[in-house]
Amino acid sequence: MRAFAEERDALALVAETAADVLVGFVIVHVDRGGAGRGYLVTLDVAEEWRRKGLAGRLVREAEARTLAAGARWMELHVFTGNEAAIRFYERLGYERVAMRRRFYGADGLDALVYRKEIASL
């Protein structure tokens, strides 16, 4: 994750407790070359912090900062078997636009492609 977060066009947000314990993060790569796209690389929330709204807050803040950086839409991939993530992103207004076969790693797992217009946020 560190390599993704340290890339030139990365936007990384971290959620911590008052005691500086990491409880969640999101990494977005912003295409600053005119394509107007932000790509949500990864989102993770510690187990004990799930279902409390933290993931939604992280994504909404990432969308706002991606928009401020010049992007007009966000895109992401979700494993076809991750029904909880699919429901989560659809609740946030992401729309399924495609499927990528054998997208994930050595196992060649399929991914759904989701996209959301953020220019109107």
Each domain of the chain, given as residue ranges in start order, spans 2-117
Taking the C-alpha atoms of residue 62 and residue 47, their distance in angstroms, rounded to an integer, is: 21
Residues in the chain, total: 121
How confident is the model over 94-115, as pLDDT tens digits?
A: 999 999 999 998 888 999 999 9
Taking the C-alpha atoms of residue 59 and residue 111, their distance in angstroms, rounded to an integer, is: 19
**Residue 26's pLDDT is what?**
97
Distant-in-sequence contacts of 46-49, Cβ < 8 A, 24+ apart: 46/22, 48/23, 49/15, 49/23, 49/24
Architecture of the domain whose range is 2-117:
3-Layer(aba) Sandwich (3.40)
Residue 63's nearest CA partner among 8, 23, 77, 55 is 55
Given a cut of 70, the residues of the chain with pLDDT beneath it are: 1-7, 33-34, 121
**Residue 32's pLDDT is what?**
74
**Residue 108's pLDDT is what?**
87
